[in-house]
Structure 1
Amino acid sequence: MKHLLTVLKYVLLLGISAALMWYAVRGQDLSRIGHYIRTANYFWLIVSLFISTLGYLSRAYRWQMQLNASRTPAPYWATYHAMMVGYLANLVLPRMGEVIRCSVLRRTSAVPVQVALGTVVTERVIDVLVLLGLLGATLALDFKTFWAFVTDKLLGGQYDALARNRTPLLLAGLGALVLLAVAAYTLVRNLERLRQNALFNKASQFVKGLLAGVFSIRKLDNKWLFLFHTFFTWGVYFLLDYLAFFCFPETYGLGWRAGLAVLTFGAFGMAAPVAGGIGPFHVLVQSVLVVYGLSREAGIAYALVVHGAQTLLVVLLGGISFVAVAAADRRSVAQEAEALSNEPLVSE
């Protein structure tokens, strides 16, 4: 039953991706989209992919700093390969890449999964904070443009209805707070009984290890270097989207503000729980570019090229890392077998 539910979940997510991709190209001239893609200047895309590779290397170094701070150090290349295998897995299994890369790191460097997962949670929290800051900056720079887009395009006539009648929203919020309070009270009242449960104790130990990884950021040896790699990584993401503007005559004249908007909303699309952000990324990026005056065909062509190039890069780098991890596993098994064969036989 559990496996069936898992399969159904991934089928549903795949269906959502397919529906969003259909929505992105619905009613458009496919030959025109193909023309945009065929005639693009891919030189700038190649430059952006080279820079993107530097971003992956920087992100792996940042993760290694967190692992060192959590007192579970790992070699740099083992950290990098585990991270890239996780990104590769995310293309097929949405949101499972984080768990998989922690499992890979446990095999290659004996880092406890819960500690590594805690560092990944911290990494995601920091990325969310940066993304929220970018969203604030994007909306502040072009507030009128995006406010009109949200009210007219996304909400349509629903915005006026919600503005006139806020009672359903207030009731929903109040109901959520009551349920949260009841759950907290029940947990506190039954805490002693739960502590006698073996499953609860195992979960507690896992959470403790998770928190050890989360709070590892407080023990960093060089917090400024950590911040540098954080902003460097996001700077790389920005350059990836901005340099891709030069691939198309339609986006050539767009400025850095448009690049910031594409980065922000594209990141939200990539964060969606679908394989590789397929669908949400394309719809959001296309919509942003339409806001800046492009046709829907030009917008989806840009999104397809950028996303496709990044996906191919992840497949290439992740595939190399997968082979490297598999080779390391084979060497480890061979060394263990050799060590066992060299042990002297003990006779009774």
Structure 2
Amino acid sequence: MNKSNPFEALGLPRDPLLLAPLAGVSDHPFRRSCAAQGADLTYVEMISATALLYESRRTYDMLKRHSSESILGVQVTAASADDMGRAVEILARHDFETIDINMGCPVKKVVKTGCGSAILRDPERVLKTVQAACSATDKPISAKIRLGWDQHSLNGLEVAQAAEAGGAAWVTVHGRTRSDDYGMPVNLEGIRQIKAALKIPVIGNGNLFQFEDVDHMKAVTGVDGVMISRGAMGNPWLFKEIRRRDKTVNVDEWEETVLRHLAWQQEEYGDQPGAAVCMRKHLLWYAKGWQGVKPFREAVNEAGSLGGAGELVRNFAEQLRKSQYLFRAPLVQNEAGSRFAWDPKYEMDRRLDRGVGDDGLENLAVHEELSV
């Protein structure tokens, strides 16, 4: 692997657009929707090394790759360097091009087991964890980190340097600490310092909801690429927007994309119980920005099948055309303080305290504030 340019070695652009592995969200239909709009590299949901080693059926199901996915990564977190090495040995036998180590997940269920952000507390453990992963495979290993545990322990630079010393091909930096909630501004200076100190590429992450956000992060930090997280939820067009610098989403494109996502959902899950419920969150997010959306949201929460959901989408699109409401309104504004107001991932992760393999999606229907 060409460590100086690992992205091109994977067939990616030099400044790739990555889709974050979003727990409870990043299944195949969602990944495929984002890839269709320009995501260069996507990941399956974060995997627990413990569940993998205990041969959890649900965890192995999460590793499924669709034949349409030309490049795919997997992210794993572990309670020890030894567990990480053994887990990567298993993942290396699966059909993934790259493996990422999660050292940033803030969810309590994950952290209390010594995984996710808990690793940030010990840079020596970071070094050993990355070394163990790199020793287990020839595939490129990356690490996703935060700037530290809290504002009193901003050791992100030391952690990033430990990951580099351990053999990481690149590091993704979320510009907050583990203790920060999504209301805390992203610390671009912290990301900049890490980028300036490392020889390997650095990917920036955090509060990227429009192309202006990406431009600003790159200008301030000099990162080599970005990873999109919450900004892609209900807005896979964000990847196209970043490349083409065009925020326009018309009703025809919206309908086509949402129906295609539904078709891929049907292909993946069939008519099994819960398939429609699993899709509800996506439909609520997709509805953001359209006029007269309240009846549609209410109907989505009652949809009992994917076929029924598709009919709701077609009817809503037709209603928009008749009303001459042909373009989606901007999801965020440029004014300081209001640009990042829509944070559905906060509700999913913090309020529901979701962890690895625990999507809690059955609760979304009663959390109507997610669609507001």
After TM superposition, the score normalised by the length of structure 1 is 0.22
Greater Rg over alpha carbons, structure: 1
After TM superposition, the score normalised by the length of structure 2 is 0.21
**Greater share of helix:** 1
**Greater share of strand:** 2
